């Protein structure tokens, strides 16, 4: 059974201001929840329609029916479980290796996919402008498929950070240097721009190394790549150059 107060709290967490106020977020689905339970994230409570998650104490677990799950779920078709977690304190940014920087990424699916790509390619640091969608947005958490547990994410003044870093700064532009013909380093900051507008003019002034993924289509009419797709290609090239 889920109380009215619990329903009110959980559903409120779909909005960022309530996540910030309560320092809580929720995750749905066995895989995502399992990844978070096994990580350093602190479980507050688990609601499940199944008698699963034996590692979770009964004090932090409530067996509920599908009707109650629908009341607290953010999904059109609810999974079998939902869990509340505490939002952890920010970890210090370590300026080494490759770092992905996101400039005003707005689509939750794109952010979740990019975080999964960071996990896949061994990128430990993901830094985001303050205008980027919240990492604890339920749609983002869902899209990460558990990778949120393994990548350090920070929201910062991106312009100030990039202007002060000693790492080489890369950005993706239509008129940049062909990435397939570039010598790419083992360390650096790779900036990925907004879905509609790309990298902001202010940040562009700070980018010393402009890259592009060339078009091969005969008509050359495709305006741009999806930002998550572009991130996958760029990370693949950086890793291939240094494997």
DSSP letters for the chain: ---HHHHHHHHHTTSHHHHHHHTEEEEESHHHHHHHHTTTPPEEEEEESSS--TTS-GGGEEE--HHHHHHH--SSS--SEEEEEEPPPPPPP---SEEEEESS---HHHHHHHHHHHHHTT--EEEEETTSPPTTSHHHHHHHTTGGGTSEEEEE-HHHHHHH--S-EEEEEEEEEEGGG----SSEEEEE-BTTTBS-HHHHTT-SEEEE-----SS-------HHHHHHHHHHHHHHHT-
Cα 92 to chain centroid, rounded:
17
Residue-level pLDDT at 223: 67
Residue-level pLDDT at 27: 97
Residue-level pLDDT at 164: 96
Tell me how crowded residue 160 is: count the other CB atoms within 10 A of its CB. Answer: 9
Q: Which sign, positive or negative, has the C-alpha torsion 187, 185, 223, 140?
A: negative
Residue-level pLDDT at 224: 74
Please give the mean pLDDT across all residues of the chain. Answer: 94
Stretches where the chain sits below pLDDT 70 are 218-223
What's the rounded Cα separation, in Å, for the pair 91 and 79?
A: 31
pLDDT digits (tens, 9 = 90+) for 61-118: 999 999 999 999 999 899 999 999 999 999 999 999 999 999 999 999 999 999 999 9
């Amino acid at each position: 059974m889920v109380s009215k107060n619990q329903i009110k709290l959980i559903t409120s967490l779909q909005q960022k201001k309530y996540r910030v106020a309560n320092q809580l977020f929720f995750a749905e689905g066995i895989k995502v929840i399992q990844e978070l339970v096994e990580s350093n994230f602190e479980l507050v409570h688990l609601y499940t329609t199944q008698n699963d998650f034996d590692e979770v104490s009964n004090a932090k677990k409530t067996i509920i029916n599908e009707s109650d799950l629908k009341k607290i779920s953010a999904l059109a078709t609810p999974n079998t479980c939902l869990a509340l977690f505490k939002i952890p304190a920010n970890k210090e940014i370590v300026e080494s290796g490759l770092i992905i920087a996101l400039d005003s990424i707005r689509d939750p699916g794109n952010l979740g996919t990019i975080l999964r790509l960071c996990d896949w390619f061994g990128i430990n640091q993901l830094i985001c402008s303050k205008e980027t969608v919240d990492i604890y947005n339920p749609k983002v958490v869902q899209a990460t498929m558990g990778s949120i547990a393994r990548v350090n994410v920070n929201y910062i003044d991106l312009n100030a950070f990039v202007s002060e870093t000693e790492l080489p700064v890369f950005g993706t532009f239509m008129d940049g240097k062909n990435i397939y013909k570039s010598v790419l380093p083992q360390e650096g900051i790779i900036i990925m721009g907004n879905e509609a507008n790309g990298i902001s003019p202010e940040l562009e002034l700070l980018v010393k190394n402009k890259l592009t993924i060339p078009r091969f289509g005969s008509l050359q009419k495709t305006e741009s790549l999806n930002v998550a797709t572009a991130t996958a290609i760029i990370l693949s090239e950086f890793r291939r150059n240094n494997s």
